[in-house]
Amino acid sequence: VNTLHQYEVELQNRGKIDVEYRLAPPSTPFGSKFKFEPDHGRLSGGQIEIIRVKLLSDLLGPFDEAFTWYIKGSSAPLSLQFKGAVCA
């Protein structure tokens, strides 16, 4: 609890067309404790973006959070899931 945890994930455009992406704002109590940098942007074809994820929670207990990323022009959003527990 109240300890900063940091992660990195890759967002990759495997296509040849530039795309714009954005994170849907989280609506759950634990979801709001996560911060993503950047949370929106543009990827050229073949480009990889490193997304830095920070978790700083004052809530205790288990969590199972799925974050939705919208890709402009895509029929289905991407999902990124974190599972864990915050302990005292």
Model confidence pLDDT, tens digit, residues 57-87:
999 999 999 999 999 988 899 999 999 999 9
Question: What are the tokens at 5?
Answer: 């945890």
CA pair distance 46, 86, nearest whole angstrom? 36
Mean pLDDT, residues 52-58 taken together: 97
Residue 8 in this model has a pLDDT that exceeds 90: yes
Find the length of the chain: 88
Predicted pLDDT of residue 88 = 87
